[in-house]
Amino acid sequence: MWDIIITIAVILFLIFLCGIRIDKEYERSVVFRLGRFKHIKGPGIYWIIPLIDLKKKADLRVRTLDIASQETVTKDSVTIRIDAVLYYKVEFPEKAIIKVRKYQHAIGQKALTTLRNVIGQHNLDELLNNRTSINESISVIVDHVSDEWGLKVTAIDIKDVEIPKDMQRAMAKEAEAVREKRARIIKAEAEQEAASKLTEAAAMISKNPMALELRRMQMVTEVGAEQNTTTLIMMPSEFVNMAKAVSDSFNKKKEK
């Protein structure tokens, strides 16, 4: 009698041990009882009924999925090759297990088709200059669909845009033309400003003829300092007379 009781106890204990499960902090288990969804277990230790309950484990951490490099055509008919990466996580484990089979493959294919469709709605310049907004547009579309699968898209980033060689040469020529245009505009603005200043200076000199002579003397001094040459200066009689008058006046004051 006791042998039977001990045997039954051992069997029950083994069955109990077989039902013990442990999930990590970032894991959740979807438990099915006789094929029907029962509840979600984890993290930590818990118990399920052996041979009756079946569990499917889901990882709640953010995952990265490389979207295969592919060729696509922009709105302005330029064929480009794009690499992108998808960041997502399981938000509702029961939906991810029940609603879709192989949710990682499903969300990858959805991101791939959405990427092609969105790129086809933008010109090449928009793709190169507004990559952030395009990434957000793709993320919103994919997240809306994946929400039914219990998945949350955190981000989609376009890693690289490969442009054909002939288009790269055309873009380089365009950039060079833009830089040359900018340089010419800056030079023209500088010449305009210089002409304006010269006009103002000419107007001031015209009001005082002696200022012109003083400026001339200054230029002669600068030329003499830069070149080791002898310079002959032709001075107007008015300038000489004025200098003589100033000298006589100074001498008279000195004699007094």
Q: What is the per-residue pLDDT for 180?
A: 79
Give me the residue spans of the domains in the chain.
Answer: 2-58, 63-168, 182-220
pLDDT at 183: 78
* 31, two tokens: 């438990």
Q: Which residues in the chain show pLDDT less than 50?
A: none
Q: Report helix, strand or coil for 143.
A: helix
The predicted structure's pLDDT at residue 12: 84
Q: What is the pLDDT of residues 165-189, one digit of tens each?
A: 776 666 666 667 777 778 788 888 8
Q: Which two tokens stand for residue 98?
A: 């029940």
Report d(CA 79, CA 166) in Å as an integer: 11
Dihedral sign of CA atoms 123, 127, 129, 133 in order? positive
Q: What is the pTM of this model?
A: 0.64
CATH architecture of 63-168: 2-Layer Sandwich (3.30)
What's the alpha-carbon Rg for the chain, to the nearest Å? 43
